[in-house]
Structure 1
Amino acid sequence: MKTFFKILVAIIILAALYVLIAMFAFDKKYHFEQSVVINAPKEKVWQNVGSLKAYNVWDPFSKADKDIVITYSGAGDKVGDSYHWKGNDEVGEGEQSITELVPNEKMITKLHFIKPFEGDAVATFVLTPEGSGTKVTWALDNELNTMMKIMKPMMDMNMKKMFDQGLGDLKKVAEK
């Protein structure tokens, strides 16, 4: 029984140390990015990336709730166009709007999360030629509050899973 309590105390001390290190050592700026090479010209890939409506066809976050409600403002392919989503607890509620667009090359959007947590982020999609295909780099940048700093390793794992799924689905759609 003494050994069990020693192990339990050690685990609690390690967890407390991790929380302190995360709070003070982890940067509040968060950047995550993933890339995929798609066997298609960038003009074809752009048809699936350069529009919010096309993005929602392969976007893994939207797919997490089959009953998600998405309301568009604009055609979804011009600076200022946006959409509002409202879904289950996993998907939450928020808005995404296009802030910069360079056709066949880059789209930058601002994300405003409403639920379950209030926050803002920037998503970037960059298309570059790679051999006979197109490299798509998808990035997300935001600032982490103290609680989110503690959860950063879990966020990284979740983002990797979602970006892998999304870029994989984009590759399937764009290579048809």
Structure 2
Amino acid sequence: MGKPFTVSRETIVLAPPEAVRGLLDDFHAWRAWSPWEDLDPDMERTYSGPDSGVGARYAWDGNKRAGRGTMELTGVQPHRVDVAVAFEKPFPSRSRVEFVLTPQEGETHVEWFMRGELGLVQQAFALVKPMDELMGPDLERGLANLKAQAETEAGSVA
């Protein structure tokens, strides 16, 4: 049994929840905001299942920085999107990602959670660099990109 971890970040987006959710429940849209899409310009991407919603799948195979793995949408509700993430490289791991969208008078409070368990190798690495320090900046960058994309698409950028 691994050691559990949770990393989370949040932001306010000047767009309605449905505009934000549209960027989350379609893996094709992740190219516009995901903090990992620019790690390898030659990354191979494969989409399967429905274009969006539960059952949509995304697989990637990239350089050492991008690694290789899959994601699957496991839950889509008006104010929540759940994703199962499985890495094969640089090391095998599985995690659950949750996006919680809370409407706030023309804005959306977005919370991004990543939960999983650290294997022995990851636990040793986490002694040097904890998961929050490792993944937190990526989530922050992704939320900033998501915010910019959603606000641009919603025409809310001031």
SS at structure 2 position matched to 1:63 = coil
Tell me, in whole angstroms, the C-alpha distance in 1 between the residues paired with 2:31 and 2:96.
16
**Equivalence map 1:1-176=2 (5 Å):** 28-102=3-77, 104-152=78-126, 153-176=129-152
- In structure 2, runs of 5+ residues without a counterpart are 153-158
Report the TM-score when normalising by structure 2. 0.87
Cα contact 2:25–2:73 (8 A) shared by 1: no
Q: Greater share of helix residues, 1 or 2?
A: 1
SS at structure 2 position matched to 1:60 = coil
User: Highest relative contact order (Cα 8 Å, sep 6+), 1 or 2?
Assistant: 2
SS at structure 1 position matched to 2:146 = helix
Tell me, in whole angstroms, the C-alpha distance in 2 between the residues paired with 1:127 and 1:76.
21
- Give the superposition deviation at 1:154: 4.1
CA RMSD of aligned residues (A): 1.5
Larger Rg: 1
Tell me, in whole angstroms, the C-alpha distance in 1 between the residues paired with 2:104 and 2:123.
35
Q: What are the superposed Cα offsets for residues 94-117 of structure 1, whole Å, 9 maximum, x if unpaired?
A: 000111111x31111111111111
Aligned pair count reads 149
Percent of aligned positions that are identical: 31
Output the amino acid matched with 1:107. Answer: V
Report the TM-score when normalising by structure 1. 0.79
- In structure 1, runs of 5+ residues without a counterpart are 1-26
- Give the superposition deviation at 1:128: 0.6
| Regions of 4+ moved over 6 Å | none
Output the amino acid matched with 1:128. Answer: T
